[in-house]
A and B are shown apart, each in its own frame.
Chain A
Amino acid sequence: MRFPTHVAGLPLRLDREARRLWKDLAMSIAALLCVVIALIPLGSILVEATARGLQAIGPSFFSLDTAFGGIGNAIQGTLILVALSSLISLPVGILTGIYLSEFGKNPLGASIRFFVDVMTQVPSIVVGIFAYSVILELGQAGIVSTRLVFSAISGTLALSVIMIPFVARTAEEAMRLVSTSTREAGLALGIPRYRVILRIVLPSSASALVTGALLGVARVAGETAPLLMTAFGSGFGFSGLDHPVESLPHTIYTFALSPYTAQNQTAWGASLVLVVMMLLISVFSRLLLRSRYRVGGAAP
């Protein structure tokens, strides 16, 4: 019998050449292992949230308030907070994005871009403290009611501050995908610059803008820390913008720490809802972008 000299194309020797080839293989496997290790938590979270969450989800899970074992008011509160934040953040963020992409090729634009980037990384709990302090100071100065400190309004303030820089950067990226020749075609027809931006650049980048908006929504819908000190939470449904409001992340947090198994279950159910929402947004926005690239041929 002949002893094999190679395994999978690699020499079975111990000289320098062979060691280099084996090391190459070992490092490739190690890199692959890193990917596998990183995906274990993701897989585990999806499996556990599905398995434990589905046990909690019954016919009344989405209609009852958190005080009665459902998450109806949490979903309602999250939708309200996210909708209000989007109402503020999208116009402000997109205008900032317009400035960065259309007028920002100068030192001022570069520094604004830089600090908007830095803003996206400000810890969310710090933003919560900021919203709380602003409203408390305004309240003590008699400008607004101090009741607003723990309310849907202060929650919206906090989430907007988190969302605006995020939307600004994605809007800028979206508008940069529109080719210069498209802009020049409009300008050559004698259309003023601002109308070129509003009627040509914005519509052409619509799908990428929507993607950015969706990712912004996903970003703030999962925020918990700033809501602890602003929107606070409530066992019941929405009762006005000047009252505390429950949200899905807040439900998960309080019920995760609860000693009652039923509430732990509810936390898993709420997590399943939140994670599925995030995944849907993520996949949907990816598809949206891809369809744009195919049609427009504007792949980076």
Chain B
Amino acid sequence: MLSLRIVRRIARGLPRSLGDPLFKGLSAVVAIGVVALLGIITLVLAFAAEPSIRRFGPSFLAGGVWNPVPPEVFGAAPFVYGTLVTSALALLIGVPISLGIAIFLSELAPAWLRIPLTYIVELLAAVPSVVYGLWGIFVLAPTMRSVIEPAVQATLGFLPIFQGTPIGSDKFAAGVILAVMVVPTISAVSREALLAVPANQREAALSLGATRWETTRLAVLRYARAGIFGAIILGLGRAVGETMAVTMMIGNRNAISVSLFDQGQTIASWIANNFTEAGPLELSALIELGLVLMLMSLLINVFARLMVRRVLRRGEGAA
């Protein structure tokens, strides 16, 4: 590490008493600078989005039209809607599976299986988003079209959200691929929350004659519920900001519709599809969309981290 060597060399020439405060000061300045980036990103986006913010104001979020032909009108409603629907769907599918995994890995699996299995589940997070997208287009979408979506329609087809012709690249498919991508996040953080439950909670339940499942449900899950909730919100943060896999699966149609079997668009997918071809005002509107996404993700993550931190700290204290 070249820069470290330079730091060392400079430090060596200094009087003893100066080295420590200088080094501490340098590392503090860098650390504060890194965190300041978060504010800088927000400010730069707000600055670049200014023409659009000034032109459309709050109606930007409610507007359903995106028309780059003069007089230009840009509204974000279909994308916000698509983001919320696909993220909700991802949680609906991903959360039960993630909880099952977390329970299995922390409570039920034999000791020799826990570490390798935890590791393999984590590998799901190592697959790049664009590879999920490629797999989505060529493997998942055909399966959705010919197997899964017809099956869902046969059983739940009376619901308005499952009307229409299954095409395989739609909001439903995007929700499914997002579910796959949030599972490693939610299961890893929930597992940590379960592991932070003190052993005497379990022992108390077991000594009363509870089965393992009853122990898990009454003594472990209940104790860790705030941490699990935080894990779910973290998963939501991941789903909201996810771009490539969704862009490749959602079918890219700019409209609000009830049926999950219709194509749609999320904030991220719309930005990815249009960013490099936009005119000046449209570009500014796309950057405003990015700002909306940034603020959504900040809100979600700050909330989730506060939640998770509180629980893990309590677990440590009680252990």
A→B interface (CB under 8 Å): 20-21, 23-24, 27-28, 30-35, 37-39, 41-42, 44-45, 48-49, 52, 90-96, 98-100, 102-104, 108, 111-112, 114-119, 121-127, 129-130, 132-134, 136-137, 161, 164-165, 168, 192-195, 197-198, 202, 218, 221-225, 228-229, 232, 249, 252-253, 256-257, 264, 267-268, 271, 274-275, 278-279, 281-282, 286
Contacts and interface: CB of A to CB of B under 8 A. Distances in A.
Interface of B: 1, 3-4, 7-8, 11, 16, 19-20, 22-24, 26-28, 30-35, 37-38, 41, 44-45, 47-48, 96-101, 103-105, 108, 117, 119-124, 126-135, 137-140, 180, 183, 187, 211-214, 216, 234, 237-238, 240-244, 248, 268, 271-272, 275-276, 286-287, 290, 293-294, 297-298, 301-302, 305, 309
A248 to B, nearest CB: 9
A122 B238 CA distance: 9
A103 B290 contact: no
Nearest to A32: B104
B241 A126 contact: yes
B297 A125 contact: no
A112 B35 contact: yes
6 contacts: A24-B212, A38-B97, A122-B38, A193-B24, A228-B272, A252-B133
Contacts of A111: 35
Given A39-B120, A222-B127, 6 more contacts: A30-B100, A34-B97, A99-B31, A112-B35, A121-B237, A252-B130
A103 B130 contact: no
Residue of B11, B34, B47, B119 most packed against chain A (CB within 10 A): B34
Contacts of B11: 194-195, 198
Contacts of A229: 275-276
A137 B48 contact: yes
A221 B242 CA distance: 16
B74 to A, nearest CB: 15
B121 A96 contact: no
B133 A253 contact: yes
